[in-house]
Chain A
Amino acid sequence: MIAFYFRQQSLKNKQKILETEQRLNRARMNPHFFFNALTALQRIAMKENDGKALASNLSKFSNIMRETLESSYKEYVTVKQEMEFLKEYMEIQKMRFPQMFSYSLMVDGEMEPTDVMIPSMIIQPFIENSIEHGFADIDYPGEIRIDFKQVNKSILIEIQDNGKGLSLPGSKINEHISRASQIIKDRIYLLNIKLKTKADFSINNNKEGKGVIVKINLPLLYTNENIAN
């Protein structure tokens, strides 16, 4: 009986540690992104007479920063919030790499983006990976597709790019994607423990063409549901 109690305690502790680490990971998402984005803003400030471009990019930048900072205590966001965040994130990245890529964000007809919740900050690391590594050095226009679908009682998120794809084990590009996959792996582990669900994800080279395809399978959670935050 006592042994059982202690084991439960130690499992609980382990979970707590994981949660804390997760929070930290989210909060310090990728400081270099902010500094690189600020450098691009600096360039606009130095060069252009167009104060409007600077002002509009500054507000996109602030939104990303706000979302990132808030995500350290906000575990879930609505699909709509996530889409807006990703859009602004990709717009800022386009400011850094103007000709590099285009993107699309789609929600299928079944889903009401304001009503459905997903864990925050699990998609962005993959997008970052596509832009900064998958598209580095390619000589064709990059494309990122993000699709949110509702399938029965679950949400399927697909993130596809047409970049260099996963290469041989141990190469630099895999190092980066492994960071993204570690973040989502921990989040899904916690989600499954807490909500007794069977969320999972996969990362593969796109069989139909170039690039990587990430599939994330999450339980359908509504905003009015009481999710322990």
Chain B
Amino acid sequence: MKILLIDNEKEVRELLKDMIEAVAPGIHQLDEADGVATGLQKINAFKPDIVFLDVEMGDGTGFDLMNKIPHPSFQLIFTTAHNKYAVQAFKCSAIDYLLKPIDITELENSLQKANTNIDGSNLGKQLTVLMQQLSNKEAGDKQIVLKDSEASYFVKVADILYCEAEGSYTKFYLSSEKPIIISKNLSTYEELLGVYGFIRTHHSYLVNSARIKMYDKTDGGTLILDTGHTVPISHRKKDYVMHLLENR
């Protein structure tokens, strides 16, 4: 997590560093700037995930700075001794407004809020990419080559039902033939087949979304394929998979 501290008072930047280190030790990369101009430079160069921004600084205000960034790609937290700027701050899509002197518990809450937002927007980006791939790429007649120690199999992507991890091997279940076991791990194929709409529903399962017929809610959630095969969904991935399927 990259955090940029913008405040014209060095002592305040040091204080913020100490406080961040105290509530979230060691997980952050910190950088600092002492005004509007240097702040803008650092935002472009350092590309922070989170920015702590003072309002009144020597060469302008935090609002002057934000006016130059129409689409900020970071989580913004204002820090100021004035409470009169709160409304203006939230108009800049600030996620929080910390009054100086800073309450360390409030700072911790802001950081958590920022982290949650960052996770959310990353998942959002991943979903967008995946959904684009789902809608653009048709597996069609695309073939992939699966090699084991005895032979090379030319398999139509559309014929693959799902893949199951077996240690560092991957077992391919096909609609026509018996399963093929390949000595590469599941992640390799997740990457390769992701563009054709294969979804990792579970630590050990990668499923061809085109072959999913229904979602069975019993037993914590299972996917039933058009061949009647069942594929489990891990609890953690349920929302993610459901979202993908609903937007298919």
A39 at the interface (CB under 8 A from B): yes
Determine if B81 and A35 form an interchain contact, defined as CB atoms under 8 angstroms apart.
Answer: yes
Q: What 18 new A-B contacts, CB under 8 Å, besides A40-B9, A42-B102, A43-B12? A: A32-B81, A38-B100, A39-B9, A39-B11, A39-B12, A39-B81, A39-B101, A40-B11, A42-B15, A43-B18, A46-B15, A47-B14, A47-B15, A96-B9, A97-B9, A136-B57, A137-B58, A137-B59
A18 at the interface (CB under 8 A from B): no
How far, in whole Å, are A36 and B99 apart by their CA atoms in the complex? 10
Q: Chain A residue with minimal CB distance to B21?
A: A46
A109 at the interface (CB under 8 A from B): no
Determine if A137 and B102 form an interchain contact, defined as CB atoms under 8 angstroms apart.
Answer: no
A107 at the interface (CB under 8 A from B): no
Chain A residues, Cβ within 8 Å of B14: 43, 47
How far, in whole Å, are A36 and B102 apart by their CA atoms in the complex? 10
Q: Known contacts being A136-B8, A137-B35, is A39 close to B58, with CB within 8 Å?
A: no
Q: Chain B residue with minimal CB distance to A135?
A: B58
Chain B 55-74 per-residue mask, 1 if CB under 8 angstroms from chain A, else 0? 01111000000000000000
A98 at the interface (CB under 8 A from B): yes
Determine if B101 and A35 form an interchain contact, defined as CB atoms under 8 angstroms apart.
Answer: yes
Chain B residues, Cβ within 8 Å of A221: none
A58 at the interface (CB under 8 A from B): no
* Residues of B in contact, count (CB < 8 Å): 21
A95 at the interface (CB under 8 A from B): yes
Other-chain residue from B10, B15, B35, B56 in contact with A39 (beta carbon distance below 8 A) = B15
Q: Known contacts being A38-B101, A39-B101, A137-B58, is A96 close to B81, with CB within 8 Å?
A: no
In the complex, how many angstroms separate the beta carbon of A121 from the nearest chain B beta carbon? 20
Chain B 218-244 per-residue mask, 1 if CB under 8 angstroms from chain A, else 0? 000000000000000000000000000
Query: Which positions in B face A, CB cutoff 8 Å?
Result: 8-12, 14-15, 18-19, 22, 35, 56-59, 81-82, 99-102
Q: Chain B residue with minimal CB distance to A164?
A: B58
12 A–B contact pairs at CB < 8 A? A32-B82, A38-B101, A39-B11, A39-B15, A39-B101, A42-B102, A46-B15, A46-B22, A96-B9, A98-B11, A136-B8, A137-B35
Question: Of residues B14, B81, B99, which shows the largest number of chain A Cβ atoms within 10 Å of its Cβ?
Answer: B81
In the complex, how many angstroms separate the beta carbon of B102 from the nearest chain A beta carbon? 7
Question: Of residues B10, B19, B35, B58, which shows the largest number of chain A Cβ atoms within 10 Å of its Cβ?
Answer: B58
In the complex, how many angstroms separate the beta carbon of A159 from the nearest chain B beta carbon? 21
Chain A residues, Cβ within 8 Å of B12: 39-40, 43
How far, in whole Å, are A47 and B101 apart by their CA atoms in the complex? 15
Chain A 41-61 per-residue mask, 1 if CB under 8 angstroms from chain B, else 0? 111001100000000000000
Chain A residues, Cβ within 8 Å of B15: 39, 42-43, 46-47
Q: Chain A residue with minimal CB distance to B35?
A: A137
How far, in whole Å, are A116 and B150 apart by their CA atoms in the complex? 106
In the complex, how many angstroms separate the beta carbon of B97 from the nearest chain A beta carbon? 14
How far, in whole Å, are A136 and B101 apart by their CA atoms in the complex? 21
Q: Known contacts being A46-B15, A137-B35, is A35 close to B99, with CB within 8 Å?
A: yes
Q: Chain B residue with minimal CB distance to A136?
A: B58
Q: Chain A residue with minimal CB distance to B18?
A: A46
In the complex, how many angstroms separate the beta carbon of A99 from the nearest chain B beta carbon? 9
Q: Chain B residue with minimal CB distance to A97?
A: B9
In the complex, how many angstroms separate the beta carbon of A162 from the nearest chain B beta carbon? 16
Question: Of residues A32, A47, A132, which shows the largest number of chain B Cβ atoms within 10 Å of its Cβ?
Answer: A32
Q: Known contacts being A47-B14, A96-B11, is A42 close to B101, with CB within 8 Å?
A: yes
How far, in whole Å, are A39 and B58 apart by their CA atoms in the complex? 18
Interface residues of A in 95-143 (CB under 8 A from B): 95-98, 132, 136-137
Q: Chain A residue with minimal CB distance to B37?
A: A137
How far, in whole Å, are A97 and B10 apart by their CA atoms in the complex? 8
Determine if A36 and B9 form an interchain contact, defined as CB atoms under 8 angstroms apart.
Answer: yes
Q: Chain B residue with minimal CB distance to A138?
A: B58
Chain A residues, Cβ within 8 Å of B10: 98
